[in-house]
Amino acid sequence: MRALAAGLLLCGCAEWRLPATMPLDAAGQPVVQEQALLGLSVTGDAAVAALVDAEGAPPELTLLLLDHAGGASRVLRRASAEAARAVALRVRAEGQKPAPVLARALMAGWPESAALVADLGFVAPAPSLPDPGRRRWAVTGAAALGPLPLSLSVRESDDSPRALVLLLAERPGGFPGGDEVELARMPLEGLAIVPELWVTAGTVWLLCGSVGTTAPLHRAVGLRRGLLARGEAQLHNAHGLSDYGAGELDAAAREFDRAIAADPAFVDALYNAASAAALTSRTAEAVAYLRRAAAVDPARVQVLGRDDDDLKALRRRPDVRALLGLRRLPPGDIEEAKAR
């Protein structure tokens, strides 16, 4: 479990590993890649218009369905060549603005897109309003844990390369200042646009990006997705690791249980709960947590558990060795068993 402690407070749960969207190899050519959120479903899925306009090829304009849980995107409709050109021209005309412009261009160049989205059952909500004068939005935690006060915020990262990051933070006593985790990030190349944010059904959609400051026009604006339940689970898991490091195993177990209540599929919390239970001789509970973790991600459980000192006692059981992909006890475990 000790290996999990480093880096958890600033790890992402969504698309933070995606490459930069600004086409760095397109020097000398205007390139526009922009998305606009047109509607949300009751489950948090997003209906999104996506424009790709690069010199040397006709512009492409597509209506996409983005899955709230991170599944594969699906094409709902493709705009005609005429509509795509009309929208692309309007976006290029306003392309230097540090704000989203595709949604307004769609109203003039492809107005039927809004009707298509409505016919499919999506609702077009306005972006969530942040706290006055701040890029921060108040949200609440998982219903199973009570109304835990949390907040979302966006800011440019201090590391390189530049990026805009979406953060979920605790609000002890209702005020910002607790630990935080990163839900998503967007690489930046140029001037950052003013972000817009929507929260629905536990899913956060962040529209952000950047525009180049010199000609030719380089513009990349897109959506990033974050899940409140996973972020809250990461916060509790981090508290549990802190308690574990201090030797407070009962407190650690409670935090890992809170993490699992927020997100039952969070493997790290399930595995850490198994470790805490094993160290306090709650063997049946430890094995049950380990089984749940392996059902979600068996490969990760095998990597974490094969040499973890916390699981030495459990690895004597054939069923646990099977979960960990072990045919026999590791050499270190055998030597310790002989010494006893």
pLDDT tens sequence across 77-135: 999 999 999 999 999 999 999 999 999 999 999 999 999 999 999 999 999 999 888 88
So what's the pLDDT on residue 16? 33
Percent of the chain whose pLDDT exceeds 90: 74
Percent of the chain whose pLDDT exceeds 70: 85
Domains in the chain (CATH in brackets) are: 8-230 (no CATH), 231-339 (1.25.40.10)
**How far apart are the C-alpha atoms of 13 and 36, rounded to whole Å?**
22
Which among 193, 163, 62 is positioned nearest to 117, based on CA atoms? 62
Q: Is 176 helix (H, G, I), strand (E, B) or coil?
A: coil
Instruction: Report residue 143's pLDDT band, with 50, 70 and 90 as the boundaries.
Output: low
pLDDT tens sequence across 311-338: 998 998 999 999 999 877 666 565 555 5
- More confident call, 307 vs 282: 282
pLDDT tens sequence across 216-226: 999 999 999 99
Kindly report each contact of residues 68-74 with a partner whose C-beta sits within 8 Å and lies 24 or more positions away, as own/partner.
68/41, 68/43, 68/44, 68/201, 68/203, 68/225, 68/227, 69/227, 70/14, 70/225
Computed over every residue of the chain, the mean pLDDT equals 87
Instruction: Report residue 276's pLDDT band, with 50, 70 and 90 as the boundaries.
Output: very high
pLDDT at residue 60 greater than cutoff 80: yes
Do the Cβ atoms of 279 and 310 come closer than 8 Å? yes
Which pTM value belongs to this model? Answer: 0.84
pLDDT tens sequence across 179-216: 899 999 999 999 999 999 999 999 999 999 999 998 89
